[in-house]
């Protein structure tokens, strides 16, 4: 599937790609064309991927990627047909190659192509407030409301019966039907991904999308970052309270209820029917099961199995927490 929001400059020959990114071509790969860079699950036999942590060894062992950037130790997990590119720092090398394919993905400059909605074909189809701006190729469904001072940047997709509040910015996002996004939200900006350097921090490109499914509500002042490589996804019938932050690559399940000021670090998966109390914090790269309840103010730093109830910092089983704090 083509990227709706960032233009792919590929294909590149693999030796050219490695040279441009400063990666040593130890195995003298030549001539083979690489069309794109994707994560382990999505990559096909003409694309390059990356494998940086044993947390993803199940995906790595099944990847269909033609090439994979990895370390010497992790390379043994990859399928035999996948050609290994051995590097010292997988994520920096991946970032360099991603920038070559998608050079516009690093910066988040404002969209120069927006127009006042009153000067577009939407003026007769959509109810809108004052100073609404719309970019190129935006799609808006039937019976939608757009609040004052809101900006819908190029290629954004909004389904039917949606209400977008005032002072909202939406970019790199696909919104399904019956979605309410309240005032002051920012959806689809780049995530907080970078590598600390002494003189100038190195920013990780974000080429993913935000996908918001049917019947979702997003409370005032919330922020949802687009994915770095894959998408950030909000499941059906999930309600977010005010001032919630969801970082890149998170997958939030269906029918979840998340109270105010909850923060998610990147790349975690939340199951269905999860309830999270206010000001809880969820660390990155975790899996939280179905029907889990997390008490307010908890700090989640490890995976949580289905049907669990946890509380505290670090979060632990609710019964044990109460017992330990009598």
Just list the catalytic residues.
Answer: 248
Gyration radius from the chain CA atoms: 21
Query: Cα separation of 48 and 101, whole Å?
Result: 11
168, 192, 238, 260 from 219: Cα distances, Å: 11, 21, 11, 8
| Tokens found for residue 188 | 């689809």
* Contact call for residues 247 and 265 (beta carbons, < 8 A): yes
* Triad 282, 266, 57: Cα angle to 5°: 105
Q: Helices (DSSP H) in the chain: which residue ranges?
A: 14-21, 57-62, 90-101, 318-324
321: Cα separation from own chain's centroid: 33
Residues 6+ apart with CB under 8 A from 212: 173, 174, 175, 176, 179, 181, 187, 218, 224, 234
Residue-wise burial string across 226-255, b where 16 or more C-beta atoms lie within 10 A, e elsewhere: bbbbbbbbbbbbbbbbbbbbbbbbbbbbbb
Count of alpha carbons within 13 Å of 188, Cβ hemisphere only?
26
* Contact call for residues 310 and 291 (beta carbons, < 8 A): no
């Amino acid at each position: 599937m083509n990227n709706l929001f960032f233009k792919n400059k590929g294909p590149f020959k693999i030796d050219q790609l490695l040279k441009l990114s400063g990666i040593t071509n130890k195995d003298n790969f030549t001539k083979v064309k690489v069309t794109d860079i994707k994560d382990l699950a999505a990559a096909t036999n003409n694309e390059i991927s990356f494998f940086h942590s044993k947390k993803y060894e199940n995906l790595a062992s099944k990847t269909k990627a033609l090439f994979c950037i990895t370390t010497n130790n992790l390379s043994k997990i990859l399928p035999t047909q996948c050609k290994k590119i051995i590097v010292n720092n997988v994520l920096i090398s991946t970032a360099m190659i991603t920038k070559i394919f998608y050079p516009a993905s690093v910066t988040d400059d404002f969209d120069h192509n927006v127009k006042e909605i009153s000067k577009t074909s939407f003026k007769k189809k959509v109810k809108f407030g004052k100073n609404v701006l719309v970019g190129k190729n935006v799609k808006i469904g039937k019976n939608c409301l757009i609040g004052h001072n809101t900006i819908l940047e190029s290629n954004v997709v909004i389904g039917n019966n949606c209400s977008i509040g005032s002072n909202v910015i939406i970019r790199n996002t696909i919104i399904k039907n019956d979605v309410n996004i309240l005032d002051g939200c920012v959806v689809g900006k780049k995530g907080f991904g970078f590598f600390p350097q002494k003189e100038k921090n190195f920013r990780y490109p974000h080429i993913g999308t935000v996908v918001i499914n049917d019947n979702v509500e997003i409370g005032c002042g919330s922020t949802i970052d687009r994915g770095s490589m894959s998408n950030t996804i909000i499941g059906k019938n999930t309600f977010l309270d005010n001032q919630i932050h969801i970082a890149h690559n998170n997958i939030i399940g269906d029918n979840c209820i998340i109270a105010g000021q909850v923060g998610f670090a990147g790349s975690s998966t939340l199951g269905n029917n999860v309830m999270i109390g206010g000001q809880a914090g969820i660390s990155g790269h975790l899996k939280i099961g179905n029907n889990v309840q997390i008490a307010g103010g908890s700090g989640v730093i490890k995976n949580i199995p289905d049907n669990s109830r946890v509380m505290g910092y670090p979060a632990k089983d609710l019964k044990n927490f109460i017992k330990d704090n009598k």
